[in-house]
Amino acid sequence: MKRAALALVAAVAFAALAFGVREFLHVSSRTAAVLTPTMNVHKEFSGALGPRLYRALHSQPVVAPGDRSRLVALTFDDGPYPVFTPLLLDRLADLHVPATFFLIGRDAEQWPDLARRIEAAGNEIGDHTYSHPDLDREAPALVRNEILRGRDVLWALTHDPSVDWMMRPPHGRYNEETLRVAQSLGYHVILWTDDSGDWRTVPPARIVAHVEHFATRPDIVLLHSGKLATIEALPAIVEAFRAAGYRFVTVQQLLREVGAGAVNHPVHRSL
C-alpha cells in the first residue's frame, strides 16, 4: 500500500514536472510583437536559456483599462500590386476599416499611383525594405541600406511619416543584428500577434477560422496584399471582431492607445 502511494506521488510529480517544462518551453519561445528602439533585443528575441527564462517570468498579460485592449490592427505585407491592391482597398473602404500596409519600395516605384491611393484612402504605410530580401542573411550595412532605401522611396511617393519609424522585416526573417540595425535607425520593428497563414494557398474560410481562434486583446494580424482569398475573407473577419466588441485601428493608433507592453503581452482569447 505504501509502495503504491509512493508510486502515485512520483507519477504526479513527474506529470507536474513534464507539464511545467512544456509550459516553460511554450511561454519562453514567444517573442515580442513590437520592438521599440529602447528595448533589449537579446532578452526579447534570443533563444538562449537566460533570455527564455526572462520571457517566461515576464509573460503576464498587460490588460488595458476598460475595453481599450479590444483593438485590432489589420496589417498587409508586400506590394502594391495591380488588380489585387485596388480590390483590397475597395473592400476595406466598404467595411470602413483602416489598415497598415508594409510596402516594398521597389514595387511602389513600379506602381506609384497605387502607393498614393493607399495613403489617400486613410491607411497607414510602413517600410518593408526596398527589394524584400531575407534580412537575416544580409550584412548589417546591407540591412541598413535596404531599410533606408525603402524609406526614401515610400516617403517620396506618399509623405507618410510612419515610413520613417515603422518597419517589418520581409518574411518575418531577422536575427539580433538585424533588429539592432533597425533600432539604430530609430525604427519600431512591427511583427504580429497572429500570423493568419494567408501566405499559403488556403481558402477564405480557413483564414477566417484561424484569425478567430488565435485572436488576442489587443491584436496585430498579419495578412498579405496579393491574395484573393484574403480579400474574400475580410468581411467575415471584420464581422467577427466587431461582434466581439473590437475596434479597428492602425498600428500607430494601437501603440498610442495601449502601448507596446500590451501588444507584447496580450490576452489570448478566441473570438
Domain assignment of residue 13, yes or no = no
Find cell 471584420 and name the residue: 238
HSE on the CB side for 203, CA within 13 Å?
3
Domain span at residue 255 reads 64-268
* Residue the block writes with cell 518575418: 172
Question: Which pLDDT belongs to residue 55?
Answer: 86
Lowest mean pLDDT, pick from 15-19, 73-77, 163-167, 187-191? 15-19
Look at residue 9 in the predicted model and tell me its pLDDT. Answer: 47
Query: What is the total count of domains within the chain?
Result: 1
Distances (CA, A) of 121 to 27, 67, 116, 131, 239: 39, 27, 9, 25, 21
DSSP 195: E
243: helix, coil or strand?
helix
pLDDT tens, residue by residue, 199-248: 888 999 999 999 999 999 999 999 999 999 999 999 999 999 999 999 99
The pLDDT value given to residue 64: 61
Dig out the grid coordinates for 122 from the structure: 486613410
Here the cell at position 61 is: 498579460
CB-count burial class (<10 Å; 0-12, 13-18, 19+) for 172: middle
Would residue 36 count as lying in a domain?
A: no
pLDDT digits (tens, 9 = 90+) for 102-112: 999 999 999 99
- Annotated active-site residue in 128, 132, 224, 265: 224
Residue among 115, 68, 73 nearest 98 (CA): 73
Band of pLDDT at residue 19, cut at 50, 70 and 90: very low
C-alpha cell recorded at residue 51: 533570455
From the candidates 26, 77, 96, 194, give the one annotated as an active-site residue.
Answer: 77
Q: Within a domain: residue 23? A: no
Torsion of CA 111, 112, 115, 119, to 10 degrees: -160
User: Is residue 28, in this structure, part of any structural domain at all?
Assistant: no
Q: In the chain, where do the E strands start and end?
A: 34-35, 71-77, 100-103, 124-127, 166-167, 188-190, 194-195, 216-217, 219-224, 247-248, 267-268
Does residue 229 form part of some domain? yes
Band of residue 21 on the pLDDT scale cut at 50, 70, 90: very low
Whether residue 77 lies in the annotated active site: yes
**259 part of a folded domain:** yes
pTM of the model: 0.89
What share of the chain in percent tops pLDDT 70?
87
> Is 1 domain-assigned?
no
State how far Cα 158 lies from the chain centre.
Answer: 22
User: In the annotation, is 224 catalytic?
Assistant: yes
CATH code for the domain of 222: 3.20.20.370
Does residue 85 belong to any structural domain of this protein? yes
